[in-house]
Structure 1
Amino acid sequence: MFSTGFFMYVFVSSFTPGPNNMMSMHNASKFGFVRTVRFVLGAASGFFLISLLCGLFNVVLRQYLPSITGVMNALGCLYMLFLAYAIAISKPGREGETRELNSFRAGVALQFLNAKGILYALSAISTFVMPFDDSWRTLLLTALILGGTAVLSAGSWALFGGIFSRFLGKYHRPFQAVMALMLVYGAISVYL
């Protein structure tokens, strides 16, 4: 039912740097892997919902995509810039400043402003699924695959952040600067 191309696209799109992965790594470096699991699960749950919505409304969105793309890109870029700012100014040991960014709710909310994630889900479904099967079962299975892959990718980045937390804590300013710059690049790359 699903092609090798579909799985390759899903893997590459999920594991490359993006808001979910950057926030997962940042949160784990600051709060630890175990305390970041709730964010990872929230991001995956939100991405499952986004994927399901993309599948259900793909035909309508495809018709209006040119006008929606600019708004989604702008909102996504602004949110990524906000995350970059929050990471850049956070201080070690002062968890309250970014604790709200390490919650299940923040993980879910991020998906609704994540231009990369929305465009990824739209393109995966419209390119690899809808032309071959648009049944409810297939759309649900696709959303489950995309949500499951989000757990694996964000979880991997969080694990990396948790394993290297001492190193990252010692070099928190350069690490935060790199993470913030990667998010800024992510925001700019939407327009490249």
Structure 2
Amino acid sequence: MLIVPLLTYAIVASFTPGPNNIISMTYARSHGFKKTLRFIGGVASGCLVIMLLSSYFNLVLSPFIPKIRFVMNIIGCLYLIYLAIKIMQSKPHRADDKARGFNTFSFGFIFQFMNPKVILYGITAISTFVMPISTSHAQLLSYSFLLTIVGICANMTWALFGSLFQHLLSRYERLFNISMGLLLLYSAISIYTAN
């Protein structure tokens, strides 16, 4: 059965640093875990939609993915670089009220459609691990939910880390912001070079 390799892939892909995890941790550090749940809810909804789209359109999209992957990676990488620069330049959270506008359900949802890590996660997991097992509606739905749940567990873990170590992270805020920005830059580069 391919469930163990699927879960291994899902856990590794979800818990490694990426845009959703870094943003969740940054928001939780600045605004607390509870207020970050709006963003995580949007991420969950957007991720589920992408997993469902990957499930139902994977066979249709497979001939076109090589043609659109390069452009999708470029756009996604440029956006991640923009986010990394914004995080590295951010001021202490008391003075940076504009960031609150991005800590919303709608931003979390829409961001998933610009997040190459989630899109590639869905396409890869569904095509490699799910389609060979079954293409029944029940299987596609259940695996889409499973992949989304693993991803949200990762987001919540990173947010909890940001919230629990809020005081320590605030003391070293500039270094923390630069580190998170550099991790986002690394995510952009690794997504671009992986394909």
TM-score between both structures, scaled by the size of structure 1: 0.96
Partner of 1:189: 190
The whole-number CA distance in structure 2 between the counterparts of 1:163 and 1:132 is 40
- Check the 8 A contact 2:26/2:162 in 1, yes or no: yes
Secondary structure of 2:63's counterpart equals helix
Contact 1:87 1:176 in 2 (8 A): yes
What residue number does 2:70 align with? 70
CA distance in 2, matches of 1:15, 1:184: 17
Could you say which residue in structure 2 is the equivalent of 1:19? 19
Aligned residue pair count? 192
CA distances 1:74-119 after superposition (whole Å, capped 9, x unpaired): 1211121121122112212124221122111111112101111111
TM-score normalised by L of structure 2: 0.94
Give the match for residue 177 of structure 1. 178
Q: In the alignment, what sits opposite 1:60?
A: 60
Which residue of structure 2 lines up, in the alignment, with residue 81 of structure 1?
A: 81
Please give the root-mean-square deviation of Cα atoms over the aligned residues, in Å.
1.2
**What are structure 1's unaligned runs of at least 5 residues?**
none
Equivalence for 1:155 = 156
Identify unmatched segments of 5+ residues in structure 2: none
In the TM superposition, what is the alpha-carbon distance from 1:151 to its structure 2 partner?
A: 1.6
User: What is the one-letter code of the residue matched to 1:12?
Assistant: V
Q: Deviations over 1:60-79 (max 9, x none)?
A: 21110111101111121112
Letter in 2 for 1:168: L
Match of 1:39 in 2: 39
Tell me if structure 2 keeps the 8 A contact 1:36–1:158: yes
Q: Distance in 2 between matches of 1:119 and 1:6?
A: 14
Distance 2:36 2:111 in 1: 15
**Which segment is superposed worse, 92-101 or 155-164?**
92-101
Q: In structure 2, the residue corresponding to 1:46 is in which secondary structure?
A: helix
1:191 partner SS: helix
Residues 31 and 95, structure 1, Cα contact 8 Å, conserved in 2:
no
| Alpha-carbon offset, residue 2 of structure 1 | 4.9
Alpha-carbon distance in 2 for matches of 1:110, 1:10:
20
Please state whether the residue corresponding to 1:91 is helix, strand or coil.
Answer: coil
- Counterpart of 1:132 in structure 2 is 133
Which secondary structure does the structure 2 equivalent of 1:57 belong to? helix
CA displacement 1:17-74 (0-9 Å, x = unmatched): 1011000001111111111011111111110111101111101211101111011111
Residues in 1 aligned to 2:105 and 2:150: alpha-carbon distance in whole angstroms: 17
- Counting aligned pairs with the same residue, the percent is 45
